[in-house]
Amino acid sequence: MAAGTFTAQNKVRPGVYINFKSEPQAAGTLGERGIVSMPLILSWGEPGKMITIEAGDDVFPKLGYSIMDAQLRLINEALKRAKTLLLYRLNAGTKAAVTVGNLTVTAKWGGARGNDITLVIQENIDDETKFDVSTLVDGAELDKQTVSDIAGLAANDWVIFSGTGALTETAGAPLINGSDGAVTNQAYIDYLAAVEIFDFNTIALPSTDDALKATFTAFAKRLRDDEGKKIQVVLENYPAADYEGVISVKNGVVLADGTILTAAQATAWVAGATAGARVNESLTYQGYDEAVDVAPRYTNAQIIAALQAGEFLFTASDNQALVEQDINTLTSFTADKGKQFAKNRVIRVLDGINNDFVRIFSKFYIGKVSNNADGRNLLKSECINYMNTLQDIDAIKNFDGQTDLTVQSGNDVDAVYIEAYAWPVDSIEKIYVRVRIK
């Protein structure tokens, strides 16, 4: 007997033809957050390229230092709350080098860290025709090769060997003349071009340069308004942005070890914490990790003025540095953008709806589902399921799938028009209490 599947009822042979098809179900889920990006001037690492660092990674091979080293302070600050850092080294630097006899040893990357590398060449104790060539960083041996001559040496994570002929013994030849070099604003522009193709939530700019702040603000506006990619940038002391996509950090903090971080340096933590915050979470009154004070402190009047100007600041409370209010720089409110757009928890909800809809529709619907009643009903079910998920986690409230979302055929044969109502939930921030004394 014939069998199989069918597309149309046009089979010739008698038999049984069976199609199995899943009942349509919502395919999308809430997108993950937690990706921050940052351009930095560093003393080691590959320049001009995005370097992905996950929280908990051993960064020593990539960046030349432990993440707890002062050289990587801002990387550590960003990863206190974020799960992923897209790091961009702005400077190429000058490579340290040394020549021992016929052998020239050059640091793999430019930068001052190369000056901490030392080469040791000793005769092998078991074979007098060979030499042990060791690469030391801060006195610790990180690579050792036993070879007969220069041709036998292979580059390692720290140095590149060049030259020909015999090796010359040395008890220790330090690499010299490595430097970090200078950086122009063009390097930051190159960074923006590089990061644009990645998925991320926030960018930190640890700089006090007003021209760069304006450039990063324009970048955020273009991505948010023209490209539909909802991200936020974190700058220091730039409330003039007056835009929901820009957070302006007013002051810094004092860490438990006595280190004072400026507002520019604190952008790393704010961007990481903002990226890591869930759509149903506010940073208001959350403590800066491992901070015991703020720098500088402000009076009550100054704090009020800063909040009214759209500035994100820290205030001291019980040996902590607390986020006074989780806000962005938007202060010019309109009928289309009311006061709620100044709250970053609200922005995270709205940005999440945008980014998740783009991701879900692109993956499961565009070019895959017919633009007819069945297809639009499936799309509507997807949207309702997503909005209900937001409501279940208290990201939005009062959503009614029957009345608050419509899916219609658009003006073109391949177009669909969706209209939805969303009421984002904010956190309790002001509690007024009246106590009557009897």
Give the CATH number of the domain where residue 199 resides.
Answer: 3.30.1370.220
Is residue 204 in a domain?
A: yes
Phi, psi at 355, each rounded to 5°: -65, -40
Would 218 be classed as within a structural domain? Answer: yes
Judge whether 25 lies within some domain. no
Query: What is the per-residue pLDDT for 17?
Result: 63
Same domain? For 191 and 287 the reply is: yes
Domain that holds residue 224: 33-88+181-323
Place of tokens 């050792």: 144
Within a domain: 351: no
Number of Cβ atoms within 10 Å of the Cβ of 180: 18
Residue range 191-234, pLDDT digits in tens: 999 999 999 999 999 999 999 999 999 999 999 999 999 999 99
User: In sequence order, which ranges of 222-343 are alpha helices (DSSP H)?
Assistant: 263-276, 300-308
pLDDT at 125: 94
Do 46 and 192 lie in a common domain?
yes
Question: Cis ω on the peptide bond leading into residue 24 (within 30° of 0)?
Answer: no
Query: Is residue 190 located within the same domain as residue 290?
Result: yes
Task: Answer yes or no: do 78 and 113 share one domain.
Answer: no
Is 202 a member of any domain? yes
> In terms of C-beta distances under 8 Å and separation of at least 24 residues, what long-range contacts does 259-263 make, across chains too?
259/70, 259/73, 260/295, 261/73, 261/77, 261/295, 262/236, 262/295, 263/236, 263/237
The answer as to whether 9 is a domain residue is: no
Structure token pair of residue 234: 């974190």
* Whole-prediction pTM: 0.90
Q: Is residue 283 part of a domain?
A: yes
Output phi, psi for 384, to 5 deg: -65, -40
82 and 206 both lie in a single domain: yes
Whether residue 73 is found in the same domain as residue 102: no
Query: What integer pLDDT is reported at residue 409 of this predicted model?
Result: 92
CATH of the domain at 160: 2.60.40.4290
In a domain, 15, yes or no: no
Q: What is the DSSP letter of 47?
A: B
Q: What is the pLDDT of residues 369-380, one digit of tens each?
A: 999 999 999 999
Residues 71 and 116 in one domain: no
Closest alpha carbon to 275 in 81, 430, 21, 129: 81
Shared domain check, 69 and 58 = yes
Q: Is there a single domain that holds both residue 258 and residue 395?
A: no
**Mapped to the 3 state alphabet, what secondary structure does 70-128 carry?**
HHHHHHHHHCCCCCEEEEEECCCCECCEEEECCEEEEECCCCHHHHHEEEEEEECCCCC
Q: How many domains does the chain have?
A: 3
**78-to-75, 224, 294 alpha-carbon distances in Å:** 5, 22, 18
Same domain, 229 and 112: no
State which of 135, 153, 178 marks the end of a domain: 178
Residues in the chain: 438
Residues 239 and 300 in one domain: yes
Q: What's the CA dihedral at 191, 193, 195, 198 to 10 degrees?
A: -170
> In terms of Cα–Cα distance, which of 315, 352, 346, 314 is closest to 328?
346
270, 296, 323 - which closes a domain: 323
CATH of the domain at 373: 3.30.360.90
Same domain flag for 197 and 304: yes
- The Cα-based distances of 39 to 149, 203, 361 in angstroms read 41, 9, 32
Among 297, 323, 349, which residue terminates a domain? 323
Residue 215: Cβ-neighbour burial (10 angstroms; 0-12, 13-18, 19+): middle
pLDDT the model gives residue 170: 96
Low-confidence ranges of the chain (pLDDT < 50): 24, 26
CA distance 12 to 2: 10
